[in-house]
Amino acid sequence: MTAVTDGVLAGTGPDRRARQAEIVAALQPLLPAHALLWQAEDTVPYECDGLTAYRERPLLVALPETEAQVAAVLKACHGLNVPVVARGAGTGLSGGAMPHAMGVTLGLARFNRIVQIDKYSRTAVVQCGVRNLAISEAVAQHGLYYAPDPSSQIACTIGGNIAENSGGVHCLKYGLTLHNVMKLRGFTAEGEPVEFGGDALDAPGLDLLSVVVGSEGMLAVITEVTVKLTPKPQLARCIMASFGDVRHAGDAVAAIIAAGIIPAGLEMMDKPMTAAVEDFVHAGYDLDAAAILLCESDGTPDEVEEEIGRMKAVLVGAGATRLSVSENEAQRLRFWSGRKNAFPASGRISPDYMCMDSTIPRKRLADMLLAIAGMEKKYRLRCCNVFHAGDGNLHPLILFDANDPDQLHRCEQFGADILETSVAMGGTVSGEHGVGVEKLNSMCVQFSPEEREQMLRLKAAFDPAGVLNPGKVIPSLHRCAEYGRMHVRKGLLAFPELERF
């Protein structure tokens, strides 16, 4: 396989300038002058996404405004064998939109139009640069919303959500991005128009939509999306339950599911996290609890009443020491405020933090918390834990000071240990943030050489020249051989003020 290799075409100095001039000359006739940036001061803002630890200056940035321009840029880049990295709002957390040193960053933020809202068919057609939350806001008047709600939804775009197959706090009940998208319209690596999925519930042939969603911009460039809209539940109420022991909290999660309940949201915070967020939002969290569960029910008032009753019985049976049920919307949002502000709250108690994103079977939640407690001692660093407990997705936040090289090193080892422990527990290295560049090495742990090779062949089937976002997601065989027992790199975040997860 030659299509995708790490650092393809990397270069500096006169070669770089000559290449840049060549590409500028090729793209200038295709775009308005303001839509092409190549001076250093203009391209610097694009040098990273939400994962700020990884930076690269692109050769140039193209900001097309029409689909015809996207097609023309892709054709030209394909002809010149230039890597193309598509980018939305740049809020991604795994470096998926990190530029290629010898490539073009294709900024799609100008595709920000809601094309059509159809109440009758419960669908909306939106351009890729429309923000996730903007869709729900635009359709709220019809009693509908777009269900996947990554916590960065105020800023992240639907195009980025497609690239990452984003989740959120409600995906156990309402599904991931894939389950809420019907049709994608965009272009192949060659710049040829293509559609995946359709207006019907399925499409003929292989289900290419399912592999394009979550492919981190490596299989096609998507410009327009038809999303499925969901009727807004009449009511949502949330239970906040305290547990004196993390095992009891972990058992409670399993017990809820075993009772046949699929909560609208089911989240867990450990004691250090609770202390950090309470200090930040003053929501009245129980500071004595070893772990707190937030368990939400939505539906008709009768339905919620019935389900809340069943949930309470299970939580008490599992050993909850304190229970409160939100009595109104303000209180419900207050229960969630700490959970949603876990990141900024961590930023207040530590100079830096590294966020992990692995998923494990639910029944191992308590084991994982105890394993992390052991790692805190081993690596002499603190860790706060927030989990999407309902689907086993973990977001441990390892606290450290990046100015201390030894702390940084221990933090990296700590993170790699969590990922490898997750894989060993039957889980995966990324639940919703994507692999990008951040978890390339961890992919070596999770997949065999043959499996990675098959993924590279799949990539080549869509993009034989290997120009779309090369070097991301699937590590080369060579890289995995080098990785050996080395550990993953740090993951510092941009946009610390944004609610996350």
Partner 1 sequence: MSEPSSTEMNQATGPAADAVPRDLPAAVEASTEIALGASISAEAGAPSVPAIEPALRRILDVVREAAAHERALCLRGSGSKDFLGGPLLGEPLDLRPLRGITSYEPTELVVTARAGTPLDELEAALAEHGQCLPFEPPRLGRDGAGQPLGGTVGGMVASGLAGPARAAAGSVRDHVLGACLLNGRGELLRFGGTVMKNVAGYDVSRLLAGSMGVLGVICEVSLKVLPRPPATRTLRFDMDQANALRHLNEWAGQPLPLQASAWWDGILVLRLAGAEAAVASAARLLGGEAIPPPLAAGFWAGLRDQRDEFFLHAEAVLAAGDGESTGFSLWQLSVAPTAPRLEVAGETLLEWGGGRRWLLSREPAGRVREAALAARGHATLYRRGAGTAAPDDGAIFAPLSAPLLRLHQQLKAAFDPQRIFNRERLHPQL
Q: Which is nearer to partner 1, 193 or 284 (CB)?
A: 193
320 vs 408, beta carbon nearer partner 1: 320
Beta-carbon count within 10 A of 485 CB: 7
Q: Nearest to residue 433, comparing CAs of 169, 94, 52, 91?
A: 94
Start-to-end Cα distance in the chain: 36
Q: Of 105 and 430, which has the nearer Cβ to partner 1?
A: 430
CB 383 within 8 A of CB 397: yes
Q: Minimum Å distance from CB 36 to partner 1? A: 27
Dihedral of the alpha carbons of 295, 299, 302, 304, in degrees to the nearest 10: 0
Closer CB to partner 1, 228 or 334, in the complex: 228
CB of 3 to partner 1, least distance (A): 11
Least distance from partner 1 to the Cβ atom of residue 442, Å: 8
CB 85 within 8 A of CB 58: yes
Minimal distance in Å, beta carbon 336 to partner 1? 19
CB of 366 to partner 1, least distance (A): 5
Shortest CB 167 distance to partner 1, Å: 5
Q: What tokens appear for 365 in the block? A: 């939640």
Alpha-carbon distance of 422 to 121, in angstroms, equals 41
If 0-12 CB within 10 Å is exposed, 13-18 middle and 19+ buried, where does residue 478 land?
exposed
Spatial strand order of the sheet with 393-400 comes to 320-325, 235-243, 291-299, 265-270, 383-388, 393-400, 352-355
The answer for residues whose C-beta is within 8 angstroms of residue 204's C-beta and 6 or more apart is none
Comparing CB distances to partner 1, the nearer of 132 and 215 is 215
Phi and psi at residue 393, to the nearest 5°: -90, 120
Closest contact distance (angstroms) between CB of 20 and partner 1 is 31
Q: What are the residues whose beta carbons fall under 8 Å from the beta carbon of 301, sequence distance 6 or more?
A: 234, 235
Rounded CA separation 298/235 (Å): 6
Closer to partner 1 by Cβ: residue 309 or 351: 309
Residue closer to partner 1, measured from CB, 251 or 352: 251
- Of 144 and 155, CB closest to partner 1: 144
Structural contact between residues 167 and 161, judged by C-beta atoms closer than 8 angstroms = no
What minimum distance in Å lies between the beta carbon of 95 and partner 1? 14
312: burial class by Cβ within 10 Å (0-12, 13-18, 19+)? middle
Q: Give 118 or 406: the residue with its C-beta nearer to partner 1.
A: 118
- In the bound complex, what is the minimum distance in angstroms from residue 480's beta carbon to partner 1? 12
How far CA 152 is from CA of 156, 261, 346, 367, 492, in Å, comes to 6, 27, 16, 29, 16
> Strand, helix or coil at 128?
coil
What residue ranges in 303-432 does DSSP mark as E strands?
320-325, 352-355, 383-388, 393-400
Q: How far is the CB of 501 from partner 1 (least distance, A)?
A: 11
CB-wise, 6 or 391, nearer to partner 1? 391
Name the residue nearer to partner 1 (CB basis): 58 or 197.
197
Structure tokens at 147: 């269900």
Match 């080549």 to its residue by tokens: 460
**Tokens in use for 181?**
């998208």
Q: How far is the CB of 345 from partner 1 (least distance, A)?
A: 23
Give the strand pairing for 60-62 and 104-107. Answer: parallel
Scanning the structure block, which residue is given the tokens 């700590």? 414
